[in-house]
Amino acid sequence: MSDNRLSVFKTYKLYVGGKFPRSESGRVYEVTAKKSATGEAGTGKWLANAPQSSRKDARDAVVAARKAFGGWSGATAYNRGQVLYRVAEMLEGRKEQFVREVADAEGLSKSKAAAVVDAAIDRWVWYAGWTDKIGQVVGGANPVAGPFFNLSTPEPTGVVTVLAPQESSFLGLVSVIAPVIATGNTAVVVASADSPLPALSLGEVLATSDLPGGVVNILSGNTAEIAAPLASHQDVNAIDLTGADAALAKELEIAAADNLKRVVRPQPVDGGSVDWTADPGTHRLTAFLETKTVWHPTGALGASGSSY
């Protein structure tokens, strides 16, 4: 019986504004498996057709991200942590699917792919824990030479474009998305061009995880084509160039200068690949935060002699 069964292929779609649209352009491109860890992309078997996003898809994603920003940045840090933890729960439940997709995308054995997926879920939980702690680490009371309370608190930058790493299709992806949204930003994510399937499946997980629509928007396609309008977009506040090669990163950084976007350059800059399994530290959390400082007169040393 199973021999006669027709294959049911999955149609991978974009994730924009909490919905799963096809590309506005109607284009798709073929995604193939990597044969081995050293194999070139595009040499393996056909996996699926992924949508090839256009600049209008990018524009729509920014509109969705901007719309979601007020609610997400206004949610309590505690609530954001709960939502992100819920995402990790959902990832855990669909682990087998991600193991298969990561194995195909990165040419890994099943056990190695499973280790990568475990690390990615742990990474997500780790960032979920940071939501209500980062404010205490990077903010606080400042000593000043005057009778003032002086308090600094970190606030999210806004809409962040994230060019996900090209090689690490899932652990790298999680490592760049989670810190952006943990601090209250909303994200427009450009998935790895050759291996977008784990990212598109992540969209399905996010859609069922209490994460408000538009907080994360995932686009697949040619990185340079999608990134160019995002880098010059006046309503994008920051861009993470991790998935751009040196030449593209330079071009995008120039385009991003027009509205003074916050730019994170790919690390390391010499083109070597990043070790995504290493302890990430907090620099990706702090990269997309702005510091708000308030001065408040204490009155204690004021002329009135008041005691408070």
The residues that bridge with 29 in the sheet, in sequence order, are: 50
Q: Which stretch binds another protein (CB under 8 A): 7-15, 101-109, 229-237, 277-285?
A: 229-237
- The gap from C-alpha 88 to its chain's centroid, in whole angstroms, comes to 14
Q: Which pair of tokens denotes residue 230?
A: 């995002």
**Whether the Cβ atoms of residue 132 and residue 77 lie closer than 8 Å to each other:** yes
Q: Is 27 in the site for another protein (CB under 8 A)?
A: no
| DSSP state letter for 259 | G
DSSP 2: G
Residues 64-103 that bind another protein (CB under 8 A): 66
User: Residue 173 CB, nearest distance to another protein (Å)?
Assistant: 25
Nearer to another protein (CB atom), residue 157 or residue 195: 157
Tell me which residue of 254, 288, 204, 286 sits closest to 12, measured CA to CA. Answer: 204
Which CB, 48 or 263, lies closer to another protein?
A: 263
Residue 261 as a binder of another protein (CB under 8 A): the answer is: no
Residue 233 engages another protein in binding (rule: CB under 8 A): yes
Strand order in the sheet with 140-141: 140-141, 148-156, 289-297
Q: Which residue among 31, 33, 50, 62 contacts another protein (CB under 8 A)?
A: 62
Q: Which is nearer to another protein, 229 or 266 (CB)?
A: 229
CB of 71 to another protein, least distance (A): 16
CA distances from 94 to 104, 195, 204, 244 (A): 16, 18, 10, 29
For helices 95-106 and 197-207, angle between their N-to-C axes, nearest 10 degrees: 160
In the list 154, 221, 229, 243, the residue contacting another protein (rule: CB under 8 A) is: 229
- Asked if 260 is part of the footprint of another protein (rule: CB under 8 A), the reply reads no
Work out whether 258 is an interface residue with another protein (CB under 8 A): yes
Considering the complex, state which of residue 24 and residue 210 has its C-beta at the smaller distance from another protein. 24
- The single-letter code of the amino acid at 200 is L
- 189, with CB counted inside 10 A (0-12, 13-18, 19+), is buried
Supply the minimum distance, in Å, between the C-beta of residue 284 and another protein.
24
Which residue in 235, 245, 297, 301 binds another protein (CB under 8 A)? 235
Closer by beta carbon to another protein, 62 or else 174: 62
CB 112 within 8 Å of CB 102: no
* Window 108-127: residues binding another protein (CB under 8 A): none
Beta bridge partners of 62: none
Q: In terms of CB distance, is 70 or 140 closer to another protein?
A: 70
Query: Which residues contact another protein (rule: CB under 8 A)?
Result: 59, 62, 66, 229, 232-236, 258
